[in-house]
Amino acid sequence: MRVLIADDDATSRLVLKSMVSKLDHKCLVAEDGTQAWEMLSAEKFDVLLTDWLMPGIDGPELCRRVRADLSDHFTYIVLITGLADREQVLEGMTAGADDYLVKPVDPFAVQTRLVAAERVTSLHHQMVNFREQLERANIDLLERSLTDGLTGLGNRRRMEEDLARAHSRSVRARRSYGVALFDIDEFKPYNDHYGHLAGDEVLRQVAACFTREMRAGESVYRFGGEEFLLLLDDCDTNSAIAAAERISNAVSNLAIPHEARKAEPPRVTISGGVACWAQGSTSSVPEMLKLADEALFRAKAAGRNRVEASGLLERLQPTSDMSGV
């Protein structure tokens, strides 16, 4: 263990250091409470053996500071007093000490205190490790709860949380954002022809394509089934369409065969519907998704493998004579 001895008496420091060192512990010394506090603030010690009466910062005050300001690391504190006064001992324990010694210090008493200190500090280290493992496990569980298990994309829950934040931020900052809703063209015939395992693999490949093609300010989620949603920060309709077409073209360029589709091309493609929230719009997130879904329906009705946009939200912007309302 790392042990710090704080005592303003040179002889006491020397005697204590000799006792501690003989027990194979690494021992450092401080000449008073102020120096001890500086050392404790800069380094981590397992045990502090501190005299009660010292110039500057005395033993009880040193205990209080350690407990109040160094709570990220546990230090076992033993107060050393010249009087076996019960009230004084209780005062020291209340200040934060774990045990006490009475001068003149007996080597056996020091050894027993250090045995207890080693046991207690070991338990504290185990507790810290357990807490860190638990925190990592909780973070992992949270991440899993927000991630689609098949594609690795954000799931519907994460999408809803991010959409709500994007909408609130846009309203507050008076800026725009967009959503693009995609659907894999004729996915059911693909599943029927190639099997559901192949269908799952297509979903993974399309999701990976989205991830590769994403740019700064863009986030993608699995909306459900064979549908995906792209969230675009600070964009207008033209830039949202360009982003949606970029991803649509990338999926088409994967050239995944789809012999079961009725129309050309005989490969996996996606259709997209875009909606943009413009400054001054009163539309909610669900209304945004509804508009994007309607645009997606038009894209599929027009032959699939294309992107359509809703212009309704832009028409909801206030006119100049209403800008101050």
pLDDT of residue 302: 93
Active-site positions read: 226
Angle between helices 33-42 and 59-69 (to 10 degrees): 20
- Do residues 269 and 185 touch, judged by C-beta distance below 8 A? yes
Question: Against a cut of 0.75, is the pTM above it?
Answer: no
Nearest to 98, CA basis, from 125, 71, 75: 75
Does residue 318 have a cis peptide bond before it, meaning omega lies within 30 degrees of 0? no
pLDDT of residue 325: 25
Superfamily of domain 156-322: Reverse transcriptase/Diguanylate cyclase domain (3.30.70.270)
Domain boundaries, the chain: 2-137, 156-322
Compute the chain's Rg from CA coordinates: 34
pLDDT of residue 137: 79
Residue 238's Cβ-count burial label (10 Å; 0-12, 13-18, 19+) is: exposed
Report the mean per-residue pLDDT for the chain.
Answer: 89
In this predicted model, what pLDDT tens digit does every residue of 233-261 receive, in sequence order? 989 899 999 999 999 999 999 999 999 98
E strand intervals along the chain:
2-6, 26-30, 47-51, 76-81, 99-102, 177-184, 218-224, 227-233, 270-277, 307-309
- Do residues 1 and 110 touch, judged by C-beta distance below 8 A? no
In this predicted model, what pLDDT tens digit does every residue of 124-167 receive, in sequence order? 888 888 888 888 877 777 777 889 989 999 999 999 999 999 99
The pLDDT of residue 291 is above 90 = yes
Q: Positive or negative CA dihedral for 17, 20, 26, 29?
A: negative
| pLDDT-based confidence at residue 318 (cuts at 50, 70, 90) | very low
Give the separation between CA 51 and CA 32, rounded to whole angstroms: 9
Domain 2-137 has CATH 3.40.50.2300: yes
Give the separation between CA 65 and CA 77, rounded to whole angstroms: 12
The pLDDT of residue 315 is above 70 = no
pLDDT of residue 30: 94
